[in-house]
């Protein structure tokens, strides 16, 4: 049985122009310890989907099962990393992480909580910035704090909402590889769902990549498997045949879905995109 | 050079104001000129802490009585206003319930509250505190409420995702996020409290700058009215500056 099981998920929002159907009939399975990326362009409903999976919002229809139990709210064994860091500016890096630790391990002594928070920050290379406030940190460092906060609670499932979307390209490359290391270097495997608009990022980090079939309402295409051992490095991916193949497939799936959306008669729910579709490498996304 | 000009310009302004005052004192015989005001007031200013009698005291001592009263009324006001602001900020039901009452109570003058205070408390001191508290609390209520509403969705998400308890959310997120707004409220409230003090002291005849002003008017020592007015202005300005500094420090941290 999959660790995370999503069945027939739909979500719509009221808008001035009538009801806006964002997601329709989304189905997804994620195995324990697996890293799955959901790739799509901006405004495609990715963030809505992730909030539903994490229990931040409730779906109109469908169910999310995590470890066999329906998700009704935020779980205590889940962590969430936001695109815009969401650090509290009045707290230092250490206090921000410790806040999460305190909430997750209320039984621990204050000393133990501080140790956990310090460890988490040291693992992302911020051991010398514990007392700095977020505004004294660069964007990359802030997102490291945010990652440390996510990992500090030793979650079983991790939701990453475009974690590197707000960073410059160079910082992004470094952090992506650091995240790959973080996910790999844990005793207990963490199941991860990441949403991103970067195909390269998805290939670097994921076991499987699920393209969004553009809507609205959006749904999910067939997953594309990246058969390479994790953690990977960007240098390794640049000339790897598997990676090139996966890249071409993801780009093809995304392009196809966007082109079909251009035709007004397109109905995303009746269309299935498979990994076996002709892999026309149309360049980088 | 620029600093010199920055220093000289306010002095020129003060000079012009004194000139206008002097001109007015020529036109209105009962209005003391700046020089006469100084001569008749200098005892109060040069011996600011002297206590010659219940109604005849140095100006600093009088200001101290007023400040003490304002501090008590102001504290009473914000002790009520701050939690009220948080409640209204968090709950839109409560806001809808109490907003009309608040809008009606807000513009009521201290002169109107004071007699009611006297009726309720029978004594002038608690009545004065009541008037100060009731008049000065509104900016704090409204600013605190606005502060809570202005908390970015990001911070609420953090509370949700970290599964923070209500208490933790309040102390670690809501209060720190609202603090700058709260302090703006406190500064405005203190300004109003200081405005109210004069009116309440005049009506109750308690010792203080306002009481002194009214008493000297009745004793026909008009120079002391001006002394009291200038004192009230300077103290009010100093209070605002102090609160402004506290506020700026808070925003910077």
The confidence band for B253, taking pLDDT boundaries of 50, 70 and 90, is: low
Tally A–B CB contacts below 8 A: 40
Q: Number of structural domains, chain B?
A: 1
- Residue A42 · residue A106 · CB < 8 Å: no
Classify residue B44: in a domain, yes or no: no
- pLDDT at residue B85 is higher than 70: yes
- Residue B99 · residue B37 · CB < 8 Å: no
- pLDDT at residue B189 is higher than 60: yes
Tell me what pLDDT residue B142 has: 94
Tell me what pLDDT residue B132 has: 92
Measuring CA to CA, which residue among A192, A195, A171 is closest to residue A82?
A195
- pLDDT at residue B122 is higher than 70: yes
Distance CA(A30)–CA(A4), nearest Å, equals 5
Classify residue B47: in a domain, yes or no: no
Measuring CA to CA, which residue among A161, A165, A273 is closest to residue A214?
A273
| A103: nearest CB among B154, B164, B176 | B164
Averaged over B163-175, what is the pLDDT?
Answer: 93
| B163: nearest CB among A76, A90, A91 | A76
- Residue A49 · residue A107 · CB < 8 Å: no
- pLDDT at residue B172 is higher than 90: yes
Classify residue B201: in a domain, yes or no: yes
The CATH number that applies at residue B104 is 1.10.3720.10
Classify residue B97: in a domain, yes or no: yes
Structure tokens at B194: 């200081």
Residue B158 near chain A (CB below 8 Å) = yes
Tell me what pLDDT residue A98 has: 95
Q: Report chain B residues whose CB lies below 8 A from the CB of A148.
A: none
Measuring CA to CA, which residue among A17, A8, A106, A15 is closest to residue A60?
A8
Tell me what pLDDT residue A262 has: 59
Backbone phi and psi for residue A254, each to the nearest 5 degrees, phi listed first? -65, -45
Mutate to test the interface with B, among A88, A97, A120, A134 (most CBs of B within 10 A): A88
Q: Which residue of A has its CA nearest to B159?
A: A100
Classify residue B35: in a domain, yes or no: no
Tens place of pLDDT per residue across chain A (285 aa): 788 999 888 888 888 888 888 888 888 999 988 899 998 877 778 888 899 999 888 889 888 999 888 888 888 889 999 888 899 999 999 999 999 999 999 999 999 999 999 999 998 889 899 999 999 998 889 999 999 999 999 899 999 998 888 888 888 888 888 888 888 777 777 899 999 988 888 888 888 999 888 777 777 878 888 888 777 888 888 888 888 888 888 888 888 777 766 544 334 333 333 333 333 334 443
- Cα-Cα-Cα-Cα dihedral sign, residues B156, A139, A189, A123: negative
Mutate to test the interface with A, among B155, B159, B163 (most CBs of A within 10 A): B163
Burial code of B203-216, b = ≥16 C-beta within 10 A, e = fewer? bbebbbbbbbbbbb
- Cα-Cα-Cα-Cα dihedral sign, residues A267, A269, A270, A274: positive
CA torsion, points A276, A277, A280, A282, in degrees to nearest 10?
-110
Tell me what pLDDT residue A267 has: 40
- pLDDT at residue B207 is higher than 60: yes
The confidence band for B12, taking pLDDT boundaries of 50, 70 and 90, is: very high
- Note the pLDDT tens digit of each residue in B29-44: 888 988 888 888 888 8
- Cα-Cα-Cα-Cα dihedral sign, residues B66, B68, B73, B79: positive
Q: How far is CA B231 from the centre of its chain?
A: 14
Tell me what pLDDT residue B175 has: 93
Averaged over B72-78, what is the pLDDT?
Answer: 94
| B163: nearest CB among A74, A84, A88 | A74
- Cα-Cα-Cα-Cα dihedral sign, residues A103, A109, A113, A114: positive
Tell me what pLDDT residue A42 has: 74
Q: Which residue of B has its CA nearest to A54?
A: B161
- Residues spanned by the domain of B83: 62-252
Classify residue B28: in a domain, yes or no: no
- Residue A220 · residue A211 · CB < 8 Å: yes
Q: Report chain B residues whose CB lies below 8 A from the CB of A86.
A: 154-155, 157-158
Contact B161 A79 (CB under 8 A): yes
A151: three-class secondary structure by DSSP:
helix
Tell me what pLDDT residue A282 has: 40
Classify residue B205: in a domain, yes or no: yes
Paired with A65 in beta bridges are: A5, A70
Tell me what pLDDT residue B250 has: 77
Distance CA(A146)–CA(A162), nearest Å, equals 12
């Amino acid at each position: 049985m999959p660790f995370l099981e999503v069945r027939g998920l739909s979500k719509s929002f009221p808008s001035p122009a009538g009801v806006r159907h964002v997601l329709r009939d989304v189905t997804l399975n994620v195995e324990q310890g697996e890293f799955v990326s959901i790739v799509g362009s901006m405004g495609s409903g990715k963030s809505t989907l992730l909030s539903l999976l994490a229990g931040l919002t409730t779906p109109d229809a469908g169910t999310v099962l995590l470890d066999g139990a329906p998700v009704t709210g935020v779980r205590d064994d889940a962590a969430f990393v936001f695109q815009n860091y969401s650090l509290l500016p009045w707290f230092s890096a250490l206090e921000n992480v410790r806040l999460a630790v305190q909430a997750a391990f209320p039984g621990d002594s204050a000393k133990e909580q501080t140790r956990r928070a310090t460890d988490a920050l040291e693992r992302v290379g911020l051991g010398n910035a514990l007392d700095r406030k977020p505004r004294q940190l660069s964007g990359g460092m802030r997102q490291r704090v945010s990652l440390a906060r996510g990992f500090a609670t030793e979650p079983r499932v991790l939701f990453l909402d475009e974690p590197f979307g707000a960073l410059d390209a160079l910082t992004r490359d470094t952090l992506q590889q650091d995240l790959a290391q973080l996910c790999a270097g844990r005793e207990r495997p963490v199941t991860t769902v990441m949403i991103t608009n970067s195909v390269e990022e998805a290939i670097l980090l994921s076991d499987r990549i699920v393209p969004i079939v553009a809507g609205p309402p959006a749904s999910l295409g067939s997953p594309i498997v990246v058969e390479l051992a994790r953690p990977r490095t960007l240098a390794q991916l640049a000339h790897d045949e598997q990676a090139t193949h996966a890249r071409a497939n993801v780009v093809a799936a995304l392009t196809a879905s966007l082109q079909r959306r251009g035709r007004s008669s397109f109905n995303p729910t009746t269309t299935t995109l498979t990994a076996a579709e002709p892999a026309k490498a149309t360049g980088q996304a | 050079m620029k600093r010199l000009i920055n220093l000289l310009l306010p002095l020129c302004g003060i000079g012009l104001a004194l000139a206008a005052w002097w001109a007015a004192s020529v036109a209105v015989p009962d209005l003391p000129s700046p020089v006469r005001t100084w001569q008749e007031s200098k005892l109060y200013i040069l011996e600011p802490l002297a206590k010659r009698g219940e109604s005849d005291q140095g100006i600093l001592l009088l200001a101290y009585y007023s400040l003490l009263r304002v501090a008590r009324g102001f504290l009473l006001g914000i002790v009520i206003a701050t939690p009220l602001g948080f409640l209204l900020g968090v709950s839109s039901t409560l806001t809808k319930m109490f907003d009309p009452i608040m809008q009606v109570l807000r513009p009521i003058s201290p002169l109107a509250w004071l007699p009611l205070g006297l009726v309720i408390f029978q004594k002038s001191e608690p009545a004065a505190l009541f008037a100060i508290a009731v008049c000065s609390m509104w900016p704090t209520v409204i600013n605190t409420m606005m502060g809570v509403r202005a908390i970015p969705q990001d911070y609420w998400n953090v509370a949700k995702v970290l599964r923070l308890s209500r208490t933790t959310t309040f102390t670690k997120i809501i209060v720190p996020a609202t603090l700058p707004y709260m302090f703006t409220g406190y500064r405005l409230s203190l300004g109003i409290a200081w405005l109210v003090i004069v009116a309440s002291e005049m009506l109750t005849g308690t010792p203080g700058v306002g009481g002194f002003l009214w008493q000297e008017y009745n004793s026909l020592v008009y120079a002391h009215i001006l002394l009291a007015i200038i004192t009230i202005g300077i103290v009010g300005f100093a209070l605002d500056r102090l609160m402004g500094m506290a506020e700026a420090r808070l925003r910077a941290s």
